[in-house]
Structure 1
Amino acid sequence: MQLSHGPSDAPHVWVVAFPARLANDVRSVLAFVPDARLGPVEPFQVEVQGEIVAIPSRIYNEEPEVGLERSLTGTQRLILHCLYSRHSDGRVRQRRLEQIVSSSEPWVVPFVMQLVGEYVLEILEGIGQGLPGLAVPGSAQRRLYGEFISRNAVFFARTERRVVSYWSCYYRWKYATFGTYPGCALVEEFRAAASEQVGGRWPRHTPPPSTDAASGPT
């Protein structure tokens, strides 16, 4: 069961979603975020370069006015986009993803990776388009994501299983085999990045692209 924090807890919950050095920037961003009736949903924890962060599964705040966003620094706007990539509205998540997916900041990576394990097909396609370097051995993007996955093996395994589950539940009518589903290509590239990072084969938690799968939700 997922639990929601009360609205009064939101500032603390959002600050700990980022490395400690960004705490003041996060607080500056929160000054522009409208209040919400519901607080953030129970966060998931991952490691970012040796530091544990706890990112909300969902937030329910309306978006700030565009004019207010323009007054933020570049780092602060990136933080804002990351936070709203956790929004309950899939269209908001997709729009904010487009602003963060190509970032080279390690603390952005878990926000992108969490979206890989969700159900909006257009978001999966956007991630694939925004990370062309994943398919290039030795590229900066491959190193960035490979390093994150190597530190968060359990998180990535759960993401893989979710990709299979959402394909089976919602998209099997369109993609008859898992290997033709856009999420499959993504997890294959992420796994290759992790393998390159550790210098060995990374464990697989999805069917091979060339086979079918009879998987239900997990």
Structure 2
Amino acid sequence: MQLPQDPSNFAYALVAAFPTRLASDVQSVLAVMPEARLAPTMPFEVEVQGEIVAIPYRLYYEEPCADSERPLSGTQQMILHCLYSRHHDGRVRQRHLEQIAASGEPWVVPFVVQLAGEYVLEIIELIGRGLPGLAVPGSTQRRLYGEFIARNPAFFARTERRVVSYWSCYYRWKYGAFETYPGCVLLEAFRAAVVEQVGAQWPRHTPPPLADAGEGTA
């Protein structure tokens, strides 16, 4: 059954967060999720391998019980974790992020990168631990993230600005220099991935590293 393309339709809003080939898998996930208290909010659009998806900024679903999740396939469980990484409760986001950070699926990448631009420091640190391949030239993980950022420069620029803003607002007292902040370290790893992918420098929307203060901002 094709869902009506109406963003006020909760199911459609979640199906739209994934490539169309996964629509039936998303439907299976929705069947085990409790009813939402509120509609998904503020979807952001990104391109995943040539297809535009619209991922909700926040979800207001309670988590399903373990017995409900058990029949889901591996792909469906990954979809469920992606969706709950958009949950309004930061602890729930972190718990589900742990299950997707190391995934090699291109459609998981925007869920991870979006979390890099949020304010919970433990989540940012978790992403760093979950993506060791970002530091390895030529790795599959580096290629995966580099390709995504190359296709979504405006989304990455917005993520950079959010990281700077949250550092300045909440963490400057702890990390006096932006380059020592875990969010900056993660952004530099993302930037290295896209530079390797495109073979050229990439615009910077953060303060430059102190060791390279001559590099301007774009």
Whole-angstrom distance in 1 between the partners of 2:161 and 2:209: 14
Worse-superposed segment, 66-75 or 102-111: 66-75
Write the mapping of 1:1-218 to structure 2, written as runs, cut at 5 A: 6=8, 9-210=9-210
Q: Which amino acid in structure 1 is aligned with residue 36 of structure 2?
A: A
Calculate the TM-score normalised by the size of structure 2. 0.92
Tell me, which stretches of 5 or more residues in structure 1 are unaligned? 212-218
Q: Which amino acid in structure 1 is aligned with residue 112 of structure 2?
A: V
> What displacement does 1:46 show?
0.1
Give structure 1 regions of 4+ aligned residues with deviation exceeding 3 angstroms: none
- 8 A Cα contact 1:146 1:193, kept in partner: yes
> What displacement does 1:208 show?
1.6
Partner of 1:216: none
- 8 A Cα contact 1:47 1:151, kept in partner: yes
* Partner-residue secondary structure (3-state), 2:38: coil
Q: Which amino acid in structure 2 is aligned with residue 195 of structure 1?
A: V
Calculate the TM-score normalised by the size of structure 1. 0.92
> What displacement does 1:209 show?
2.6
Q: Which amino acid in structure 2 is aligned with residue 112 of structure 1?
A: V
> What displacement does 1:71 show?
1.3
Whole-angstrom distance in 2 between the partners of 1:100 and 1:91: 15
Root mean square deviation of aligned Cα: 0.9
> What displacement does 1:111 show?
0.2
Whole-angstrom distance in 2 between the partners of 1:209 and 1:79: 36
Whole-angstrom distance in 1 between the partners of 2:42 and 2:165: 21
Tell me, which stretches of 5 or more residues in structure 2 are unaligned? 1-6, 212-218
Q: Which amino acid in structure 2 is aligned with residue 180 of structure 1?
A: T
> What displacement does 1:189 show?
0.6
Identity %: 73
- 8 A Cα contact 1:184 1:209, kept in partner: no
Residues 35-71 of structure 1: CA distance to partner in whole angstroms, max 9, x if unpaired? 1220100200000000000000000000000121111
Residues 146-192 of structure 1: CA distance to partner in whole angstroms, max 9, x if unpaired? 00000000000000000000000001111111011000000001001
Worse-superposed segment, 65-74 or 116-125: 65-74
* Partner-residue secondary structure (3-state), 1:45: strand
* Partner-residue secondary structure (3-state), 1:46: strand
Residues 121-168 of structure 1: CA distance to partner in whole angstroms, max 9, x if unpaired? 000000000000101111111000000000000000000000000000
- 8 A Cα contact 1:40 1:59, kept in partner: yes
Whole-angstrom distance in 1 between the partners of 2:134 and 2:88: 28
> What displacement does 1:210 show?
1.8
Whole-angstrom distance in 1 between the partners of 2:37 and 2:179: 41
> What displacement does 1:112 show?
0.2
Partner of 2:216: none
- 8 A Cα contact 1:18 1:107, kept in partner: yes
